[in-house]
Chain A
Amino acid sequence: MNNKIIKEETKKTNTMEFEGRGLNFKVELLNQRKLCNTISGVDIQEVDDFVLNTGLSEREDLDIPTHSEPEVIRHFTRLSQKNYSIDTGFYPLGSCTMKYNPRVNELVARLPGFSNIHPLQDESTVQGALELMYELQNWLKELSGLDAVSLNPAAGAHGEYAGIRTIKQAHLKKENTPRKYIIIPDSAHGTNPATAVSCGYDIIMAKTTNEGYCDLAEIEEIILKHGKEIAGIMLTNPNTSGKFEKDIIKIADLIHSIGAYFYCDGANFNAIVGNIKPADLGIDVMHFNLHKTFSTPHGGGGPGCGPIAVCNKLKPYLPVPFADFKNGKYELIRETNDTIGQLKNFYGQFALMVRALSYMLSNGKNGLSQVSKDAVLSANYIQKSLEEHYHLAYSGHCMHECLFTDKKQKASGITTVDIAKSLVEYGFHPMTMYFPLTVSGAMLIEPTETETKETIDKFIETLIFIADKVEHGDIEEIKSFPISTPKRRLNETEAARNPILTWYQIPN
């Protein structure tokens, strides 16, 4: 029925243009909406005796659509209604940790004492901001067990870059060579190899075993072959197959035996936060995704925040600036002898630091320990409940995410993308698709700790329902999903073949 209505709507009726149907509002782009005659959606004083003192002629060709304030409100409100969000439903994206975003974090980040201060104000006027940074550094030191923290990196991948650069700097200072290789497991996030190459390294891929762990024997072999040409390893723990790397201490020992460093991608830190200290595992440097583990909103693609923590051996190379406390006052250390330097404007994603600390304070050590326990419990509960219906990539318990594949459904012509689009149809955001690359048709599910058992049960039931539909041969229907969304399946190939990236490029 719904499908039919949408189809009718798209048949251009020659009687009148509708404003949509019911609550399915029509949305046009800003430049397609009728432009209003008011001067602007913001009242701004007009300058009468204007004198141009720019040394250049005044611009004439500015082309920005003009609307009133209510029109702008309506436009963006309607657009927002075309988005799925964590506040509207379950968002089990593996390795992305889409947990609930507390609103108190938003409130405190907007206190004028935090939001309305300039990074180049006199240090005496921003003692609170520096105190907050210092305290956050201490929380991250304690949670990681590492010795020093820089809050400078702007996002997870930026943190990776910072971490690998400190390793490079350490080798340069001690051995006059950065060394040549970084070992990266084949299950790693794509940012890991991209980061290592950005830092000037060659990659050696390490295989994943049939059980979903990093292959210790292969790492031994790589080390035997390349020895001190290896600068370090980039390992995600728990890894992207949902496993805690059980040989992690042996891997760390091997890496350290050749004077190389152990980098941990902290994307999956939520699985162990408040229960296990990464430093105890032999990790020398790691980044945190504050937006994941510590609940700052993902905002449809950012901003993120990716501080790094390092052991004492790497401390001299930390990016600047970072906060310190000396002689009764807080200060920014802007320069150290051996630092890799500064990685972004000013100091880091400060407003996200406020949110993250707010979350940490709200949870406390007892809460954070419960966070990882509940996240792991929920993932294992999903794994166990679905293992008869979907092919489980690796047997045994998982950490905070579980990994299935489309192997059981594939013979019917149904693949991961169809299962994902069916979930969309039934009101859920899909899991992470086709990642990790180590298994074909991967479906990586991460529930996090903030979902009720009822929601998780409903999600499980829905996936079982979809699996049953496949078994009963309802293939055509599944292939047609989603049908209840503002748009049906979109042609991504055409978008890339013939890019239309601005409203100026839209053909008439």
Chain B
Amino acid sequence: MRYLPLSNKDRQDMLERIGVSDVKDLFIDAPEGLFGKNFDLPDNKSEQEVISYLSNIAKKNQPANDSAFFLGAGCYRHFIPATVDHLVQRAEFLTSYTPYQPEISQGTLAVIFEYQSMICSLTGMDVSNASLYDGATSLVEAVLMAKRVNKKKKNIVVANELNSQYLDVLQTYLQEETIHKSCDTDDICAIIVQTPDYYGTPHNLTKYKEICDKKGALLIVVNTEIISFGLLPAPKEADIVVGEAQSLGVAMNFGGPHLGYFACKEKYVRQMPGRICGLTKDEEGKDGFVLTLNAREQHIRRQKATSNICSNQGLNMVAFTIHLALLGRNGLKRLAKLNHHLANILKETLANNEKIKVINKSFFNEFVIELPIKADLFLEKMLQKNIMAGVKVADNRVLIAVTEMNSQIDIENYNKAIDEIL
């Protein structure tokens, strides 16, 4: 076994020092007869065999680049510069643990600090944590935090079209509690607004902010396409901004791991879940970073912790930070504009097609079309033409995402294919 460096001689010497004759004697507390069970599993494979075996499985999938590809709905295909994956694979990032020993973890800690700063810049919030599992669980944590902050109020309102995955996950966590769809009641703990919403429409937050102020509710803003912040105003009206940052630095990965972000107003910082990195001084007065405000966490507060979260998405957070550092302000703006521009071209083309109807008045890089046939049938027929045409969001409606990865030819072919199918 190539990962196991001990020789039989080493093992013998070690057993001798311990004073037992067989390694089985070390498992003395295990109930009799239960050690050394037979497992119905294959023997080990060489590296060459593992690659060949898994490559054959991978070949049974159709990757996005093998077709014209228009899927989004919370997971986006974007270009990742070669630099990002190269740096992420540096062992000092890849194979390190949570930075509990700050003196030998300044690299990861500094990246977290930069990540937190960039998330605050994008979202218009004051503080950010070091990431959470994904967008849906970040929303859950935002709702749980709102309930801690705003204890006297009860109802959670989802005010507009929330990503269906996020709604499902939120429902799992809220258990028997119901999620409300209207702001009619006065007893509101928090209002959730997604922008751009699940159907791609960006929202002005002023009216939601006014309702929140009137009813003493917290405003939670959700965003699943972080590149949109290059073009859309920062959601400064919010108390908490959460969402998915997979779009920068992280591959689609069949849905995971992605990168949940969580930012809020400074006054809530001690209620914020997850890890946070802070700047401090060392013994010589030099600046350095540490994980801080740990008193909120499960390893200190146990059953009184703000959440049970232990790990975050460290490596994806590093990838995000590198990608955004490469883009910089100008690059992110250009990227956002390019996404919007290409989506606009497809939308304009489709809007002229009499067989379908474009539902959105406004959008960032995703919009919904209504079809004269079932969405499932439409997607199947498009797939036969090697176009992954979108995500079904209603019986005869499809959500289409366009990014910088879509060529002009893909976009033209989309419309042509519709003409042939319908």
Contacts and interface: CB of A to CB of B under 8 A. Distances in A.
B37 interface: yes
Contacts of A114: 54, 58, 61, 253-254
Nearest to A168: B175
A370 interface: yes
Nearest to A3: B284
A319 to B, nearest CB: 8
Contacts of B62: 117, 121, 125-126
B308 A496 contact: no
Interface in B275-294: 275-286, 288-290, 292-294
A300 B71 CA distance: 31
Contacts of A274: 39
Contacts of A344: 133-134, 136-137, 169, 256
B370 to A, nearest CB: 18
Contact of B282 (A81, A246, A491): A491
Contact of B391 (A86, A120, A277, A341): A120
A300 B3 contact: no
Contacts of B28: 397
Given A59-B233, A160-B308, A361 B42 contact: yes
B51 A108 contact: yes
A364 B57 contact: no
B99 interface: yes
A120 B75 contact: yes
B379 A122 contact: yes
Contacts of A46: 334, 337
B90 A77 contact: yes
Nearest to B305: A194
Interface stretch (A26-34, A224-232, A308-316, A403-411): A26-34
A378 interface: yes
A354 interface: yes
Given A111-B55, A435-B299, A45 B310 contact: no
A115 B333 CA distance: 26
B89 to A, nearest CB: 6
Given A365-B42, A381-B18, A44 B331 contact: yes
Contact of B54 (A75, A126, A357): A357
A298 interface: yes
A1 interface: no
Interface string A361-394: 1111111111101101110110011000000000
Interface string A43-63: 011110011111111110111
B302 interface: yes
Most chain A beta carbons < 10 A, residue from B1, B126, B363: B1
A281 B31 contact: yes
Contacts of B383: 122, 124-125
Contact of A30 (B95, B114, B171, B311): B114
A180 B403 CA distance: 50
Contacts of A370: 1, 4
Interface stretch (A14-22, A88-96, A215-223, A470-478): A88-96
A342 interface: yes
Interface stretch (A97-105, A256-264, A461-469): A97-105
B255 A376 contact: no
Interface residues of B, number: 194
B79 to A, nearest CB: 8
Contacts of A367: 1, 3-4, 44
B120 interface: yes
B268 interface: no
B391 to A, nearest CB: 5
Contact of B105 (A61, A84, A139, A361): A84
Interface stretch (B178-186, B215-223, B224-232, B413-421): B224-232
A357 B25 CA distance: 30
B329 interface: yes
A154 B256 contact: yes
A450 interface: yes
Nearest to A89: B104
A298 B269 CA distance: 26
B44 to A, nearest CB: 3
Contacts of A51: 341, 344
Given A119-B252, A303-B315, A40 B334 contact: yes
Interface in A104-141: 104, 106-108, 110-122, 124-129, 131-132, 139
Given A84-B105, A351-B253, A54 B362 contact: yes
B368 interface: no
A23 interface: no
Nearest to B314: A301
A297 interface: yes
Contacts of A496: 278, 292-295
Contacts of A381: 14, 17-18
Interface string B176-204: 00000000000000000000000001101
B290 A53 contact: no
A114 B53 CA distance: 13
Contacts of A362: 2-3, 44-45, 47, 50
15 contacts: A40-B334, A42-B327, A44-B338, A47-B341, A59-B231, A62-B333, A120-B73, A125-B388, A198-B308, A280-B34, A343-B169, A366-B44, A490-B288, A496-B292, A500-B278
Enumerate the 4 nearest inter-chain pairs by beta-carbon distance, A residue then B residue, closest first: A346-B255, A66-B328, A113-B58, A299-B315
